[in-house]
Amino acid sequence: MAEMAGWRRHLHANPEVGFEERETAAFVAARLSEFGLRVTTGVGGTGVIASLRCGTGGRAIALRADMDALRIAEGAPGRAHRSTRPGRMHACGHDGHTAALLGTAAALAAGAEFDGPTFDGTVHFLFQPAEEHGRGMQAMLDDGLLARISIDEAYGIHNMPGAPVGRFATRTGPIMAAEDNFEITVTGRGGHAARPHMLVDPILAGAAIVVALQQVVARRLDPVDPAVVSVTEFLTEGTRNVIPGVVRIRGDCRSWRPEVSAAIEAELRRIAGATAEAHAAGAVLAYTREFIPTVNAPGPTEAALRAARTALGAAAVDGDCAPIMGSEDFARLLAQVPGNFAFIGNGEASAPLHNPEYDFDDAALAPMVAYFCALVRDRLPRGAA
């Protein structure tokens, strides 16, 4: 446990953002090699794969951790393992996920699976880059992940602030949403703020668009289809006495079904164009789909729940948690391979994810390792046909 906490704090102090995780990947690969695993680096840019075979079983499962940090300046100036890299920090707990998966690899490689028999088959440990970008798992897939290794099932886990350490939650079916991004470019005719009658004000048009977008979820979508449309940036080229010629409105959309995503895009395009025209301005929408929904398969989810009950106790396990509107890059692998994604508590007093005060709770490392090891025993049992 102390060694895992040391790994975690080292990673926390040395964060790297998506597709820049070169030192992190080297650290991970070095530890895995020390455990005696077969290691492949540079998968999808900075991804790492390690494989451990035990017995003669032909089945293989994958366990995944994400390695990237966020472009956030860390708070908590008194924290001993505070980020040494300005403007970058592990504000989502990927340092903890990586350390826990390293601890799992070490335990399984040493045959010290806490208190159970060894497994029969192959475990692949996937350390992926750029989860926050929503591009890292796809990069690994594009780089031949599923041609390099055979995977029957895949499993991932994420810490959850607000839930007690050791509390486990998952569900069958959709557990995390798709994420789409948009940018609306509103064009007018800029000039002196004292002569608005000579201009076409894109700020006025843009503000009207922002207000009108609130009707998309409230009035244009079926209430039984969860969705979120959020404006997150309003950017201009103006200054105190200058009305700009261009305004850019950026935002984020969440949904569960492709049909809802398509409806949101159509509504944004219609509202932006019509509202801008009503203000004698123009508007162009750029719309991209960043994450797909994370969907858990029934069989692997039942296995995840069995393993969690074995490792953590039945009272700590929620098998029908509410889905959340956040998104997860692991979804790209689950679209190719059946598996499960779950949450484990980071403490009731934990700061929220993506917050400058956030820190992964080292006490959550052991429950994560216990769960993963129990899962391996469940899915790759000795004596299975």
Catalytic residue among 68, 179, 267, 362: 68
Catalytic residue among 16, 74, 131, 153: 131
68 is catalytic: yes
Tokens of 165: 């350490």
Q: From residue 87, how far is each of 15, 16, 76, 90 by CA, in Å?
A: 10, 10, 14, 11
Q: Report which of 141, 124, 159 is spatially closest to residue 50, judged by C-alpha positions.
A: 124
Phi/psi region, residue 280 (left: phi>0; alpha: psi -120 to 50; beta: rest), is left
Residues marked as catalytic:
68, 131
